[in-house]
Chain A
């Protein structure tokens, strides 16, 4: 194969069902190609990813991964090959569409790896089921249907409960279990809004769900790299399940039977690369089971005993095949140390498995199946409670936003570690803080929610039997016994620490109990348990993941910490080491951007001759790829574990400003224990984080801030609100992603809300601040050294204040920031940097109208760091690391760089590092870049898509353009937006919105599309000469209503503006917004954003959207 240039499709913005795992797989693929000297062209608008970095990829297009854009990229770049299976379902769907249109053929692009025909086969459920039937492999009874009527008919034949699945959808969107006709109708309706075809199938009650990750090369060598078992039975999406690797309850026969079936399937499809196969396995197969593998029993005598031949019944079905890298394959890579995506990319280039070395041992083969001497437990991270109105139940479609992986030598250890890794302040499975009193344990067990595991522990502590819990949950008793073991062992903890024996302490640690968890039972702090543990000489072991269970020595430092050991596999790094704390699980408010910042920091540490020691626990990340850092601890980001690692490694210090808020929150406790924190002093971090201290600081510096105060009781809060006037903003201390932040418009609202908040967090007082409306929000991102700003970027929010900065549309260069405002911002930032003696990255959020006031400061890198770095061409993380080592060379402009540090800053990835004191970057760019949020509301049944102060987006994309309109339109198209072609629906609440929207509405008429509007809006627009068709709101119960039009698919843009403080009227609007989401109609609820979108679609056509690579915009 003569392949010199390869096109790789990324997965775009992070969304539920498609998250950071594809940055990992894409990055690995690119690395694999790079090693072969192949040029890489990447299309991925996700600017926060690592794969969109110069050190990895040759040419990067921040463009939507859609056939229209990718075709143009192909025309321009003329690649000889394309990889479609490394960017999730988004890339695969785009690739399939291009293939069908003949684009690859036309431009002589060879699709590398698995043939497209095989991918097409696996994506069409009916065809695939029949393919499997032909090779004697069973699938659940099922029929693909394209109408609701057909669905009902099929269900009649199969019988209820019936499972509904949709093809061509990420994360099983639009799937569900229908127990009766009515439920089936509901599910089918919803699904058909997104997909043309659904599957109605046999429901396999309490079957086990088991997965295999298979790879095959062109010479037919085929291996299974990892098998995994879902703790939750079939019926809960594998992305929603707690998963263990390797499987725990399968015996040799079952394990290898399913393994060989996986291989058969992969061979039958002709896969070249990676494939994921999911099975349903009956835990109690009977002889009568329909689908069995029974050989006639033959009695023989061998030696002195009877030889009987195989009589193992097995009742299994294939439920899903993904002929691409997947979330599971990323997990499997991290679980085993086998780099699936890297190997798959090599195989796609035509290599044989035996041509590829096992990078962990350096001497053995990649053609092998890893042997683990540990267990991993993956737990999803959900943030369902962050979405107003969202249904908490989990099931056949994905709702989780991230995941963690605990590694241990007992299930209990790995499981409890994973629970802490979720970063929800849970100590272990016996934590019951999430269990609300208004639900019975039985309910919590019967209806799966993120809380179920804790309900199981609670049930055990109340003496409920394993059998009973199995009946209610379908979780294999093996797992239940392990949880019971945790509960029973915890009960043995004495009341007084004096009575805690060394043996029991060791036993508890071996079962993954944290110091805090043990201490709580005895009324002492975790630190006391820590002291006791040390006194008793009980210490954790550091073990390597070596892919061969100790049979060969590992060359890589991929590590975990366990109390089920008595030695360390490695030696401490010592003073050349720097611990870098990663971001933990992806969640609303912290995702791939903090992986980019972590990885960038690690890379820059190398240039300072420091050895990087990463601690992170998220299997979807690049930072947890063992060849990124010198040492990788796949571990908890808890104080306890960081301390354990620090004490073992004895490093130079800890870098905690590049992993988002989680590491930042550890500053105080780590500092208090005497660990060295690199960068800004922890006391100053605290001064910025603690609102009281920070506010006092602002006053002292004469910096404006919205009026605010802290309250622990309601009446005082109400009094304050009356003084400053509603609306007010309510928030607890230590805010991440605006947890429980709300705007209140009335006393009544405030009262209800405060009651809620006290339940959530009684430890922290509540902050109430005056909410200033109709002002702009501006972000400042900067790096300082010893209180002196080295570089800064000012970016602008499109939405006015009131939309969380994580949900805001952010523009560079700022379009409407006056010079005076800019100067004021710079001045305030300088003051703050100086006073807080900042060394490293920081971010300040401002409100700006005529004056400038500060709303928040974070002395860490912010979510916008990748965006501002990639847009300005200056890597702010590199600058931040340089600042840490006092290495930025302060020199006169024009002088040749003389020190290593300045050369470093001029490295290929950093671009211009002409830092002369404090430099404002990103103001005079010859282009515009816009970062837009990605929402996943469609996944969250019932969730209200209205933007507010709580963050709700799951990801982001950023695109470039000649002007803001072009960049924004590309961005919107990258996150699922559409240029309307059918009809536009307007619902403008309140007089103010109506008037302000008049101009955009007039512009819309130039599109010559039918306009629809609700009654008042229609009347208002008509008065101003704009004709619309009046349609009824849903509650008006008249026809035609909005829903009918959404269902008919004749509306492809909805604008729904809510009057602030609308109260009751909002229920009505909510129904409209939700209906739009449920019918896949893009809906705009923010007036500034809606206006910009309308400007864009009325001033640009698709052909105006230029196909330009990153380096055509940003010269590095």
Chain B
């Protein structure tokens, strides 16, 4: 099979196809996590991206049931590995990675020197690229699109039960965010990216299936803006809604893209990182403490300007980039990393507890 990866600078890498036999284009990024390929592949933040795994041996434990995924399908546009394993061994494995990719129509390439690819991206920054199998296609830049709108749910659904109700904006949320909240006894209402709870007409149109307790603003106690794909500035409507929520001093937790959206809504700014943070070993120092946490991350953009009224909460110990914001007075906070993990270390789960404590 004549399969190859072509980068926007025209460099070509031949590979052996083990996924769906079709071409695919997107932004080429790498992740250095050593475990969790099913979680990564189903993370909606990867929409529009071709993902290189720097860990060279992938496929070892096959693919588990959907209940262990982060969304209902593979979200990446394609994957690149060095050594694909077609003989998985795990009690939860249902099908092989290859079978899964084929079933979902996602190409996968085995290119031996993934280290070279990684170094190129590290040096030149994230590049567009395409996997070509049989038929050539054009490059595609996912950051020019409103990917959030593309991946968001159209429905409002509710999960779990509890005294506290949280609106979860589905900007491309990983399932484990909802799971983490539900596990903590929270009533989670997942809403589309552009759902405006402050517009009465929506309410009268009967969109809200959930009825408020009466005491809290518009029937919820807090908002969680989760992760999602692409350039945060494209999700204008979500930013607008956050602005309204900020005015009402509603408790907010932003995660990843949600962190960037909160910053933008509060008057801060975001910028693209050279090649992003996609790994499970990013050290983040909690401001004002001697604590440094190992976090799991997946982002290409970052908060480049801290909005007024907020102070940095976490800072990346490696490159000094901002990893979290916290309002000086109000229960409004956000983190660039993933407290819900999946994949990656679970050390930051306490962020949910911390937030929920503030949600009255």
Q: Which of A's residues lie within 8 Å of B, judged by CB? A: 219-221, 223, 246-253, 255-256, 259-260, 263, 283-285, 295, 297-298, 300-312, 352-354, 363-365, 367-375, 409-411, 476-478, 481-482, 485, 510, 541, 543, 548-553, 564-567, 569
Contacts and interface: CB of A to CB of B under 8 A. Distances in A.
B280 A375 contact: no
A485 B57 CA distance: 14
B159 A354 contact: no
A524 B45 CA distance: 53
Contact of A549 (B118, B173, B342, B345): B118
B183 to A, nearest CB: 7
Interface residues of B, number: 70
User: Which 5 A/B pairs are nearest by Cβ-Cβ distance?
Assistant: A252-B36, A308-B67, A305-B72, A481-B87, A550-B118
Contact of A252 (B85, B113, B342): B342
Interface stretch (B138-146, B228-236, B240-248, B287-295): B287-295
Interface stretch (B174-182, B196-204, B253-261, B321-329): B174-182
Contact of B183 (A252, A309, A312): A309
A251 B64 contact: yes
Interface string B302-344: 0000000000000001100000000000000000000001111
Contact of A300 (B85, B88, B157, B280): B157
B227 interface: no
A369 B61 contact: no
Contacts of A566: 112-113, 116
Nearest to B284: A367
A303 B155 contact: yes
A250 B35 contact: yes
B189 to A, nearest CB: 11
Given A303-B72, A303-B170, A410-B83, A373 B54 contact: yes
A567 B113 contact: yes
A549 B36 CA distance: 16
Contacts, number: 221
Given A249-B60, A302-B153, A307-B179, 10 more contacts: A256-B341, A303-B157, A354-B283, A354-B317, A367-B292, A371-B280, A373-B56, A411-B57, A476-B89, A552-B122
Contacts of A565: 112-113, 115-116
Contacts of B72: 303-305
Contacts of A375: 56-57
B291 A368 contact: no
B182 A309 contact: yes
A510 B83 CA distance: 10
Interface centre among B115, B318, B346 (most CB of A within 10 A): B115
Given A368-B281, A551-B279, A566-B112, A478 B88 contact: yes
B97 to A, nearest CB: 12
Interface in B77-120: 82-83, 85, 87-92, 112-116, 118-119
Contact of A260 (B64, B112, B346): B346
Contacts of A478: 60, 85, 87-89
A567 B116 contact: yes
Interface in B146-180: 153, 155, 157, 159-160, 170, 173, 175, 178-179
B119 A564 contact: no
B55 A372 contact: yes
A564 B294 contact: no
Nearest to A411: B57
12 contacts: A248-B60, A251-B36, A255-B35, A284-B91, A300-B157, A307-B175, A367-B317, A374-B56, A409-B57, A549-B118, A565-B112, A567-B115
A409 B60 contact: no
B32 A564 contact: no
A300 B159 contact: yes
Interface centre among B119, B122, B160, B318 (most CB of A within 10 A): B318
Contacts of A223: 294
A690 B283 CA distance: 58
Given A365-B318, A477-B89, A564 B113 contact: yes
B282 interface: yes
Interface of B: 30, 32-36, 38-39, 54-57, 60-61, 64, 66-68, 71-72, 82-83, 85, 87-92, 112-116, 118-119, 122, 153, 155, 157, 159-160, 170, 173, 175, 178-179, 182-183, 190, 279-283, 285, 290-294, 317-318, 341-347
B92 A251 contact: yes
A163 to B, nearest CB: 24
Contacts of A476: 89
A747 B317 CA distance: 74
B290 A253 contact: no
B55 A410 contact: no
B321 to A, nearest CB: 13
A365 B35 contact: no
A904 B90 CA distance: 59
A865 to B, nearest CB: 40
A409 B112 contact: yes
B91 A283 contact: yes
A354 B285 contact: yes
A221 B178 CA distance: 28
B89 A300 contact: no
B172 to A, nearest CB: 10
Contacts of B114: 373
B56 A312 contact: no
Contacts of B112: 409, 510, 564-566
Given A478-B60, A550-B122, A253 B292 contact: no
Contacts of A553: 122
A312 B69 CA distance: 12
Given A253-B68, A256-B346, A300-B182, A364 B318 contact: yes
B282 A256 contact: no
Contacts of A310: 179, 183
Contacts of B57: 248, 375, 409-411
Interface centre among B64, B179, B182, B183 (most CB of A within 10 A): B179
Contact of B179 (A309, A409, A485): A309
Contact of A550 (B32, B68, B282, B285): B32
Contacts of B82: 409-410, 564
B178 A307 contact: yes
A285 B91 contact: yes
Interface centre among A260, A304, A307, A371 (most CB of B within 10 A): A307
Contacts of B30: 550-551
A669 to B, nearest CB: 29
B89 A219 contact: no
Nearest to A259: B345
A551 B122 contact: yes
Contacts of B91: 283-285
A301 B346 contact: no
Contacts of B153: 302-304
Nearest to B277: A551
